[in-house]
Structure 1
Amino acid sequence: MKVVEGNIASPLGFSADGLHAGFKKKKLDFGWIVSEVPASVAGVYTTNKVIAAPLLVTKASVQKEGKMQAIVVNSGVANSCTGQKGLEDAKEMQALTATKLGIAPDLVGIASTGVIGDFLPMAVLKKGLSKLVVNGNSHDFAKAILTTDTKEKTIAVTDYFGKDEVTMAGVAKGSGMIHPNMATMLAFITCDANISSETLQLALSKNVETTFNQITIDGDTSTNDMVLVMANGCTKNKEILPETPAFDQFCQMLSFVMTDLAKKIAQDGEGATKLIEVKAEGVANELDARMIAKTIVGSSLVKTAIFGEDPNWGRIIAAVGYAGADISVDQIDISLGDIPVMVASSPVDFDEEDMADVMQADTIRISVNLHSGSSSAKAWGCDLSYDYVKINALYRT
């Protein structure tokens, strides 16, 4: 597998565009991804009980049609908690896009992100839609979906399946309200591989738990998060089937793309100054390992200590203890970077100057070894800074 320069339109048969429609004052805020042909599709959606209208419409279309040919996205207005009118607006957003492209409405996925409780300005949407073009500026799509993000999040990779080169690309937005089982996160992945919707869903479900569901920013879960994967088969490789070496290879490719996007989201958390990566190992089972890693990276006390560059490992061991995993607490090792701070559940001395170098880095790696099994897991998040409070205190005003 090879990482290449590219964007969401890099796979064969895909194009994209992004522009400023007027959902936001100045920044790009509207875009789409279009496939030349109907593509296999798979999706995962927010676990929040309150689900935004665009997700309801998109999920219903995926389940009904099993194919998708376009995804249209606006940022600035979430169209969430907007009642029957919001649902009607979402359906109109889908129908208008389908009419412009000359395809069936159920082949269009829609997504919105931004302020909850505001209605979609349909005049703005229609004006923006009139300006979107197939084979437009594909780099601008990544900008058009952002809200409080500070940077675009994209990746493209290639790999050979036999003699056929398959390209996969991903784009995401997400900065705050990111919590395990996703949230205020949108991620779109395109691929030119020949794979059915059922097999694609199997691959997505297999990998989401160890990637997007292992990031946390602030403990909140939004109403609009969604991951959609489209594979249009334009490479014309031999169909990828479950329980085959090709399927395992495809899953590795998908996992790489999803992990990269997940880490970029965590690193771009609202007000973040540092990426935190936690590895829990030596755990009895994978679920407990994931719970421990997520609990540590989600701890407000751990996050503030990292922001303050304070190696307060007591907050880490405390998080291990309340993670809800069935563990033994007698042989726990903890390291910050490559410096041990606890061995066999007892504190160890460390050089303060060496530790200062570790804590000043842009990425802080925390390792916890329970010495009670062979399972491990990683989770990603960011520190909690003064700017996080400022950004969220003034988000709507």
Structure 2
Amino acid sequence: MPVGLRELPPLDSVPGIRLGTTAAGIRKPDRPDLVVIECAPGTNVTAVFTRNRFCAAPVTVARDHLETAPPRALLINTGFANAGTGPFGLEDARACCAALAGQLGCRTEEILPFSTGIIGERLPVSRIVAGLPGCLMNLNENGWAEAARGIMTTDTVPKGSSRKINLGSQTVLLTGVAKGAGMIRPDMATMLAFVATDAAVTPAVLNSCLLTAVNQSFNRITVDGDTSTNDACVLMATGLARNSVIDRVEGEAYAKLLGSVTETFIGLAQSIVRDAEGATKFITVEVRGGLTESDCLAVAYTVAHSPLVKTAFFASDPNWGRILAAVGRAPVERLDFSKLAIHLNDVCVVRQGAPDNDYTEARGIAVMRLPEILIRIDLGVGIATARIWTSDLSHDYVRINAEYRS
């Protein structure tokens, strides 16, 4: 079960965005698996994609299309990732785009494709094309919740978030959905995330907002250290809120928009970790006192990716030596263990590189039995800080991934 993750909250419609979802039988019968997100004319769209060098065909096509024309619609399928499929994968992705473009009366390049699922198998193009009329028939501004369910794979719950901010006299809406539970160390964004606002904002400023928010959210989570071939995060701005156009990355209006986008991204990113495959613990790793933020992140990720650390948390075992060892092998130039401190929540475990005088195993166990835990590591050599979110590693993670293709 997800760790501390509530049911999908009410999701506000965003003027200018319509969503349609259907069960196209792409891989499994009778489950939502195909989503169309339609953008009103004039919508600005920006996106970031996986840094995996073997990126999926839809990533390649979406990048090309985004550079060619303003998107009219996004097309998302689950079941098959269309990755590792060679030239045929590109043909299949473009064929699906062409089919949707034909039904919407727009150019093929105005469709952005996204896929998630099994790697190495071709898309069932005929099933996707056959499902498009169902998506279009279901298009409506209130389709966010259905879309959140339609993009799920091993997720156990749909993930979404909505916010409102005031820009001058105008109320601006922001709503987004995401999917992801395994193969999570995005290295740019998340597995799949689609967020829209009705704010009026120029393309360059929207892109800056996306990049800044991604680096504080989706680039701060990890479940298993694996970067997917299909990761993508899309931010859409319809401009229908009629606020004064935000055209610079400074000032109160931009700060409010960036804050709202970042909060939305963080909420979605954390929901992915909370729903991590087999997770029983939601773990925050906070590193302080580093020389640079990159050093802090290196330490945090080394701890978060350690199978020994993650399995200890699953067992509620306060085996702090595993954390200490992970810190010691982090790829940073300067570590001074005489200054190192480690806390589990408010319990000091290590001080000045040695067991804290007041630490007891009982206090450590009491923390480790909690569903949400903070590992706070103070390196004591600088002023930089960084924070990431991760999960434990359980029997169910192995089972889910062992059975994924069956």
Is the TM value for this pair above 0.5?
Answer: yes
Paired AA for residue 134 in structure 2: K
Structure 1 residue 15 corresponds to structure 2 residue 23: no
Q: Report the counterpart of residue 125 of structure 1 in structure 2.
A: 128
On the 8 A contact 1:79/1:118 being kept in 2, the answer is yes
Identity, % of aligned pairs? 38
Matches within 5 A, 1:312-323: 312-323=319-330
Shift of the alpha carbon at 1:138? 3.2
| Distance (whole Å) between structure 2 residues aligned to residue 325 and residue 254 of structure 1 | 31
Note closer, same or farther for the CA distance 1:180–1:99 as it changes in structure 2 (3 Å cut): closer
* In 1, Cα distance between equivalents of 2:233 and 2:111: 14
Q: Give distance in 1, aligned partners of 2:330 and 2:13.
A: 41
Aligned-partner Cα distance in 2 for 1:53–1:288: 34
Q: Conserved in 2, the CA contact under 8 Å of 1:183 and 1:222?
A: no
Q: Distance in 1 between matches of 2:43 and 2:249?
A: 22
1:339 corresponds to 2:347:
yes
Amino acid at match of 2:284: E
Preserved CA contact (<8 Å) 1:113 1:184: no
The structure 1 residue matched to 2:54, chosen from 50, 57, 61, is 50
1:251 positional shift: 1.6
CA deviation string 1:121-153 (max 9, x = no partner): 122111211111321743110011111111111
- Alignment match of 1:382 (pick from 383, 387, 391): 391
Residues 343-354 of structure 1 aligned to structure 2 (within 5 Å):
343-348=351-356, 349-354=358-363
Deviation of 1:183 after TM superposition, in Å, equals 7.7
Identify the residue that residue 270 of structure 1 maps to in structure 2: 277
* Equivalent in the alignment of 2:165: 159
Q: Tell me the alpha carbon deviations over residues 39-81 of structure 1, each in whole angstroms, 9 at most, x when there is no partner.
A: 111111111111111111111111122x323211000011111
How far the C-alpha of 1:371 sits from its partner, in A, is 2.1
**What residue number does 2:5 align with?**
none
Tell me, in whole angstroms, the C-alpha distance in 2 between the residues paired with 1:124 and 1:260.
33
Size of the aligned set, in residue pairs, is: 392
TM-score, normalised relative to structure 2: 0.92
Q: 1:294 aligns with which of 275, 293, 301?
A: 301
Distance in 2 between residues matched to 1:295 and 1:240, nearest whole Å: 39
CA distance in 1, matches of 2:186, 2:107: 34
Corresponding residue of 2:3: none
Q: Is the 8 A contact 1:184 1:223 kept in 2?
A: no
Going from structure 1 to structure 2, the CA distance change for 1:383 and 1:182 (only over 3 Å counts) comes to: farther
CA RMSD, Structure 1 to Structure 2 (Å): 1.8
Q: Secondary structure at the match of 1:367?
A: strand
Aligned mates of 1:325, 1:242 — CA distance in 2: 36
Structure 2 runs not aligned, ≥5 long: 1-7
Structure 1 distance, partners of 2:129, 2:255, is 43
The aligned counterpart of 1:102 is 105
The separation in 1 between residues aligned to 2:60 and 2:17, in whole angstroms, is: 25
Structure 1: which amino acid aligns with 2:375?
A: I
Q: Is the 8 A contact 1:77 1:118 kept in 2?
A: yes
TM-score by length of 1: 0.94
Q: Distance in 1 between matches of 2:260 and 2:292?
A: 24
Match of 1:75 in 2: 78
Q: Is residue 100–residue 129 contact of structure 2 (8 Å, CA) maintained in 1?
A: no
Matches of 1:147 and 1:379, distance apart in 2: 24
**Partner-residue secondary structure (3-state), 2:71:** strand
Map residues 1-397 of structure 1 onto 2, 5 A cutoff: 5-7=9-11, 10-25=13-28, 26-65=30-69, 67-132=70-135, 133-135=138-140, 137-181=143-187, 185-245=191-251, 246-329=253-336, 330-348=338-356, 349-397=358-406
Instruction: Name the SS for the 1:37 alignment partner.
Output: coil
Report the CA distance between 1:184 and its aligned residue: 7.3
CA contact (8 A) 2:21 2:36 kept: yes
Instruction: Specify the code of the residue in structure 2 equivalent to 1:379.
Output: I
Residues 138, 209 of structure 1: CA spacing in aligned structure 2 closer, same or farther, 3 A cutoff? closer
SS in 2 for 1:43: strand
**Structure 2: how far apart are the matches of 1:295 and 1:232?**
40
CA contact (8 A) 1:72 1:108 kept: yes
